[in-house]
Amino acid sequence: MTKQISGRNQLTGKITAVQLGDVVAEVTVAVGENLVDAIITRKSAIALDLKVGDIVTALIKSTEVMIMKDMP
Amino acid sequence: MTKQISGRNQLTGKITAVQLGDVVAEVTVAVGENLVDAIITRKSAIALDLKVGDIVTALIKSTEVMIMKDMP
Amino acid sequence: MTKQISGRNQLTGKITAVQLGDVVAEVTVAVGENLVDAIITRKSAIALDLKVGDIVTALIKSTEVMIMKDMP
Amino acid sequence: MTKQISGRNQLTGKITAVQLGDVVAEVTVAVGENLVDAIITRKSAIALDLKVGDIVTALIKSTEVMIMKDMP
Amino acid sequence: MTKQISGRNQLTGKITAVQLGDVVAEVTVAVGENLVDAIITRKSAIALDLKVGDIVTALIKSTEVMIMKDMP
Amino acid sequence: MTKQISGRNQLTGKITAVQLGDVVAEVTVAVGENLVDAIITRKSAIALDLKVGDIVTALIKSTEVMIMKDMP
């Protein structure tokens, strides 16, 4: 059995930074040439034992993505 | 003058598919080895004249990103 | 190995309705005494073969939840 | 007159924890057999005088809900 | 008793357009000098009987707002 | 060349408050007669050098907007 998720954007990479705040935490993931930043709860960051070097997947719902384009 | 945006995740790539629905549209962008899917309004897809081959940037707020990790 | 997700709200229930639109789909899940509605892409609804009676889990990021309270 | 909200997911329960951070706060609500976590502003948590034992409603927009399913 | 909501951004205005799609609907609200667009479910648009001229309030969670600034 | 964004809601106003937290920051913008609150990363607030009196634009995706209406 494999758990499938409807969220279409799943970007795998390596954690480059974890900053724990009082309620939320910021996790930075290197995905290819990009850095992807996530704000999650401090509790989740601790529950998943997130640390620099971990291989993780950033999960983003399609409805959350905007598109920018340079127009002449 | 350059417009700066607080949204920290800006992933540039090439559009591989545009599907116009009655109210919303789905835009797929190839970013490195990943495909990023966006659901935006049909009106915005038309206003930005989005089409296959366009170079665009997917913009994602950090608060919208979850993290998944394989745990032993 | 188990995949762990930072999204803290994971509500398991049974699908009571699936409505496929041209680009997005609406999925309704009975969770305890509540109905939880999700708008996901049509592609994901088909990829996960979602149908009435399926046991699924609704996943919601904590940053997406508002709180309402009756005030005197 | 009653205020109606388009957000279809309204889950009523009792607050089991409130943690105030410097800018945001985490509020946990017991809804049936589930716990629902919300990250809201510290200001709203104070303005609504949220405290353990309060009966509140978690409000979630359908576009914010993902679906997970175990696949064979 | 008044229902209070943690969502800090509540912008009241008059509906200028409603477009019903197969699953979702687009509602446009004139707020001061701005137009605010909302994508909600078709079901909610019908349940609230939304129509041009209605006075409504657009509700937006603070975590969903980005900031743009022109930089020299 | 001008950068166009699919996010349809772009509300321009003047910053009235900036509160830096450990990981996130709250920025308040006066837009017409309304105040719009944004929770962004502390890093973005510093990178954009956001301060009281700055003219900025609040950017909100249409899928993030709910509608409330008083019903008889």
Most A CBs within 10 A among F22, F44, F57, hence the mutation to make, goes to: F22
Q: CB–CB of C45/D68 below 8 Å?
A: no
Q: What is the ipTM of this complex?
A: 0.96
pLDDT at C1: 67
Residues of chain A neighbouring B46 (CB-CB closer than 8 A): none
Residue of A nearest to D18 (CA): A23
Interface residues of F toward A, Cβ cutoff 8 Å, are: 1-7, 21-24, 41, 43, 59, 61, 63
Cβ distance D6 to E39 less than 8 Å, yes or no, reads no
Q: Say which residues have a Cβ less than 8 Å from residue D68's Cβ, sequence separation at least 6.
A: A3, A4, A5, A6, C10, C56, C57, C58, C59
Query: Do B3 and F3 contact (CB within 8 A), yes or no?
Result: yes
Chain A / chain C CB contacts < 8 angstroms: 36
Q: Would you say residue E50 has pLDDT above 70? A: yes
User: Residues near F27 by Cβ (< 8 Å), separated by ≥ 6?
Assistant: E67, F15, F17, F18, F37, F38, F40, F45, F50, F56
Interatomic CA distance for residues C11 and C29, integer angstroms: 9
User: What value does the mean pLDDT of chain D take?
Assistant: 96
CB atoms closer than 10 angstroms to residue D32: 15
3-state helix, strand, coil in chain D (%, to 5): 10, 60, 25
Average pLDDT score over residue span F26-55: 97
Higher pLDDT, C72 or E66: E66
**Which residues from E are below 8 Å from D45, CB to CB?**
6
For B10, the enclosing helix (H) or strand (E) is: strand B9-20
Find the length of chain E: 72
**In-domain check, residue B4:** no
**Closest-CA residue to D50 (of D35, D38, D32):** D38
Instruction: Write the pLDDT tens digit of every residue in B7-34.
Output: 889 999 999 999 999 999 999 999 999 9
Domain count, chain C: 1
Residue D15 is encoded by which pair of tokens?
């607050």
Tell which residue, D45, D68, D50, D67, has the closest CA to residue D13.
D50
**Residue D4: inside a domain:** no
Partner residue facing E36 (CB), from F33, F63, F65: F65
Confidence of residue E1 (pLDDT cuts 50, 70, 90): low
Residue E1 belongs to some domain of the structure: no
- Chain B residues in contact with C6 (beta carbon < 8 A): 66-68
CATH code of the domain in which C16 resides: 2.40.50.100
Is B45 part of any domain?
yes
Per-residue model confidence (pLDDT) at position D53: 98
Average pLDDT of every residue of chain A: 96
For residue B28, the model assigns a pLDDT of: 98
Q: Is residue F54 in a domain?
A: yes
Interchain CB distance below 8 Å, D6 and E44: yes
Question: Above 90 in pLDDT, residue E8?
Answer: no
User: Which residue of B3, B6, B60 is the best one to mutate when testing the F interface, meaning the one whose CB has the most F CBs within 10 A?
Assistant: B6
- Bridge partners (DSSP) of residue B13 are B56
Residue A68 has a pLDDT of 97
At F33, which amino acid appears? E
**What's the token pair of residue F30?**
């006066």
Q: Tell me the backbone φ, ψ of residue C41, rounded to 5 degrees.
A: -70, 150
Q: Using the beta-carbon criterion (under 8 Å), do A2 and D69 form an inter-chain contact? A: no
**Which pLDDT value is given to residue B1?**
67
In a domain, C66, yes or no: no
Q: How many CB atoms lie within 10 A of CB F4?
A: 16
Q: Which residues of chain A have pLDDT under 70?
A: 1
Q: 3-state secondary structure string, F26-54?
A: EEEEEECCEEEEEEEEHHHHHHCCCCCCC
Q: What are φ and ψ of residue D45, in 5° steps?
A: -60, -35
The confidence score (pLDDT) of residue C34 equals: 96
Does pLDDT of F1 surpass 90? Answer: no
Q: What is the pLDDT at residue D42?
A: 98
Indicate the residue of C4, C7, C24 with minimum beta-carbon distance to B39: C24
Nearest to C26 by CA among B15, E21, A52: E21
CA-CA distance, F37 to C68, in Å (whole number)? 18
E35 in a domain, yes or no? Answer: yes
Can you give the pLDDT of all 72 residues of chain C as single tens digits? 688 999 889 999 999 999 999 999 999 999 999 999 999 999 999 999 999 999 999 999 999 999 999 988
| Number of E–F residue contacts, CB under 8 Å | 122
Q: Is the pLDDT of residue B71 over 90?
A: no
Give the model's confidence band at D1: pLDDT under 50 very low, under 70 low, under 90 confident, else very high.
low
From the list D6, D41, D44, the residue facing E40 with the nearest CB is D6
**CA of A51 vs chain D CAs: smallest distance (Å):** 22
Confidence at residue C71, expressed as pLDDT on a 0 to 100 scale:
87
**Contact at 8 Å (CB) between C31 and C11?**
yes
Domain span including residue C36? 10-61
Q: Which of B5, B23, B24 sits opposite E66 (nearest CB)?
A: B5
In tens, the pLDDT along D3-49 reads 899 988 999 999 999 999 999 999 999 999 999 999 999 999 999 99
Is A52 inside any structural domain? Answer: yes
How far lies A67's CA from each of B50, D37, E27, in Å? 9, 30, 20
Measured between CA atoms, the residue of chain E closest to residue C26 is E23
Q: What is the distance between the alpha carbons of residues F4 and B56, in angstroms, rounded to a whole number?
A: 10
Q: Which pLDDT score, from 0 to 100, does residue B2 have?
A: 82
Rounded mean pLDDT of D56-71?
96
